[in-house]
Chains A and B, each alone.
Chain A
């Protein structure tokens, strides 16, 4: 028995040892962020998901960025000296880039000292995005838009080596600090591309030194440094000591002024010394770490929503006492159930309208989104031009009587003559529940639904191969322009393009084509609104909701707001260390 005693004693010692949990030795200001998915790598051209693009945005920068404190979202110069001059025909964009901006120090540069950023770096970085051998995931942004770039890409796809020195007509450095883009046709959304990580500046010598390992050696001009990226659960960035003199904005929209966001106005960025990103995939440890003050802000996990937020959308007193505050922010997205318009069945507008009218979106909001979302009336979410304030779709349910009438008008009284309709959705629990809800809702008018769950890649494959009838999905904005949503219903974008439903309405297509080359103007907004109305009245989808983000933050975290475009946000955040020390004691 002595042996057993020894064993148990050893275990007890181990437990004792462990109970001395790690004490953080923190000097300076640190932002602690928790993300819920693994970070793939740090190469801007592959940053096609929110998590990777946020990480890329801490190290790399682009020509433009969104003003941190202005809504609606407004583009402002970042590495560009000023906004570009645009030729009258809307085809030539000329940028002056900032002088004296330095890349981070790295062994790839002479003496290991980061060199100055020049216009040629953007030419190189954008060619990398177009490089057919690299298959950058943001190529869709520029595909067919810059003169000569598609030809350059096509030519090199068959050659063994890509020649970056070959001149592309529409992408030139016309001076050390002057950059010129020539477009194939007017494309007003072009500027948004330059605020996306795909087009951020990389240095050619760094890419060439590290080759395929470049994605683990991020060297940009950004506010934070990460000498080596290792795919792990914790990434630690430190302040870039050579960061150019970039100041916290002194102007803000009224909502931010009132909320005290200008307290740091005019201070040099970044405001903190370190950014620690913790990958915490499961919601419980993310939530518990937040409550312990080890994470500075958190999007409220679904299971903790009721404990944190009262029915009248306020923060529970228990959390208020801990110095936590609640932020509610609509996100630029839309959830929807799409009809496959290739099927003759769904070319019948009355059938689509009847099904749309049978669906109670308010109840679904209660069931699946804790009543936090906004029922969608059409495709464009609130917050961007093209959304029609206070507009109600004539086919927004529930209206069972009217739905039944329309179903009869469509030729299927009480659902007679209708085949069983399959509803495909991703295989998550909530998606399946939404499917079951859809089935129950449509059963009220006699439409029979069969719910089929699929792993996400399988659902994508089915949509592309047109093997679906109805499917549930969502779209988040790439940039704050209604075009990014309306293109989902533009006929020529049919799957595998973004128009997975295959909706094809000549009138809508014509309006889209006209609007897509127009600069932002009241005329363009009027066209967007017209398309938005068509999209409501024709019911090409059964609209779901525009979701809202419910985020909690600790009071010691300053300047934080929930935003749709988080790239670069960490440089504006601040920590009140004295307040943090006190708050953590209470937690």
Chain B
């Protein structure tokens, strides 16, 4: 099977996946979610108004018709408007995606590059004090809650030292940079612990393989072995780990965005759930499912790029 056939076939899986996702969210929404009409009308709700509003929201339509509406919106990308804010959902996502990405993308790239670099160094010095110290610091970094980094970082570096903006955001390059540097650094600190430990394990798995001994026997230097051979062979788990995280970058970073007032997508799903804002929940779930499928296809394709032995079936 050639590459394109494989990609098309995998993308075709989006259809049954979306039907399934739509069914699950539809059932969950109808069984357990509170009445959105009641939430929207708040403290002055009356029986008549609740009935009217449910009618306007389309909640009195037959179940199958409501389900078909969800499926239709998944394929047309017309998710309508939020019930809570009355804003167009696609516009809400567009407005939020860029600020989220200005925070998460540099943070993700930097933390990945730094973590891989550190793990290469510690693999190089495996078992030595550098390796032991690195592992110790990773565990230490992981032991502190993310909120503590945020609260301390904001208070000390932004307020006390005045190095960064306390919170806020400006659209456009390079205006946004002063506002995202501190959250990016905090993101890196937060992810460096688990990332280094993961990459280090991957590297060490490779380092004890036969081909490494062969390379050593041939007289190749440790550096060449590490960068040319080990890193290349470790790419498969690294790609799996990295690429699959990309769709979630668009969804933003809830805590960082909230504390640093970055107008991203971090809270959009949470607010949707909290307010029983079904169109928002629907849009975010479907888009996440789609992104997940697309990026898993990309992961598979990248496997063939880094390792020609991999065949897609």
Chain A interface (Cβ within 8 Å of chain B)?
3-4, 7, 11, 14-15, 17-22, 38, 40-41, 43, 46, 48, 132-133, 135, 137, 139-140, 143, 157, 212-213, 215-216, 230-234, 278-282, 284-285, 288-289, 291-292, 294, 455-458, 460-461, 464, 475, 496-498
Contact = CB atoms under 8 A, between A and B. Distances in A.
A233 B178 CA distance: 16
28 contacts: A3-B117, A4-B117, A7-B114, A18-B178, A18-B181, A22-B170, A22-B178, A38-B267, A43-B86, A135-B40, A212-B86, A212-B88, A230-B95, A232-B171, A232-B263, A233-B261, A234-B169, A278-B168, A281-B261, A284-B151, A285-B167, A285-B261, A288-B166, A292-B166, A455-B274, A460-B38, A496-B38, A498-B43
B261 A22 contact: no
- Count chain A CB atoms within 10 A of each CB in B165, B170, B182, B262 and give the residue with the most: B165
A215 B167 contact: no
Given A22-B178, A230-B95, A464 B259 contact: no
Given A11-B110, A288-B154, A48 B42 contact: yes
B261 A21 contact: no
Contacts of B242: none
Contacts of B236: none
A282 B52 contact: no
Interface of B: 33-35, 38-47, 49-50, 52-53, 55-56, 81, 84-88, 92, 95, 110, 113-114, 117, 121, 151, 154-155, 158-159, 162-171, 175, 177-179, 181-182, 184-185, 258-263, 267, 271, 274-276
Contacts of B159: 288, 291-292
Given A233-B168, A282-B259, A460-B39, 5 more contacts: A19-B163, A19-B164, A22-B165, A289-B167, A455-B34
Contact of B262 (A139, A233, A497): A233
Q: Which 4 A-B pairs have the closest CB atoms?
A: A18-B181, A140-B44, A457-B34, A285-B167
Contacts of B95: 230-232
Nearest to B184: A14
Contact of B177 (A18, A137, A497): A18
A143 B163 contact: no
A4 B170 contact: no
Contacts of B39: 457, 460
Nearest to A279: B261
B50 A496 contact: yes
Contacts of A496: 38, 45-47, 50
A43 B82 CA distance: 14
B86 A46 contact: yes
Nearest to A153: B52
A294 B84 contact: no
A14 B263 CA distance: 22
A285 B154 contact: yes
Nearest to B120: A4
Contacts of B262: 233
Nearest to A488: B43
A18 B178 CA distance: 5
B45 A18 contact: no
Contacts of B87: 40-41, 215-216, 231
B46 A288 contact: no
- Count chain A CB atoms within 10 A of each CB in B43, B163, B181, B271 and give the residue with the most: B43
A212 B85 CA distance: 12
Given A18-B181, A288-B159, A215 B86 contact: yes
A279 B271 CA distance: 15
B168 A282 contact: no
A21 B165 contact: yes
Nearest to B124: A1
Contacts of A17: 177, 181
Contacts of B185: 15
Nearest to A3: B117
Nearest to A20: B178
A22 to B, nearest CB: 5
Nearest to B32: A458
A46 B85 CA distance: 9
A38 B267 CA distance: 10
Contacts of A498: 43-44
- Count chain A CB atoms within 10 A of each CB in B154, B178, B182, B275 and give the residue with the most: B178
Given A7-B113, A233-B263, A143 B46 contact: yes
A556 B38 CA distance: 43
A22 B177 CA distance: 9
Given A455-B274, A496-B46, A234 B168 contact: yes
Nearest to B167: A285
B181 A14 contact: yes
A216 B82 CA distance: 14
Contacts of B263: 231-234, 279
Contacts of B169: 232-234
A212 B259 contact: no
Contacts of A233: 168-169, 261-263
A239 to B, nearest CB: 22
A572 B65 CA distance: 52
B36 to A, nearest CB: 8
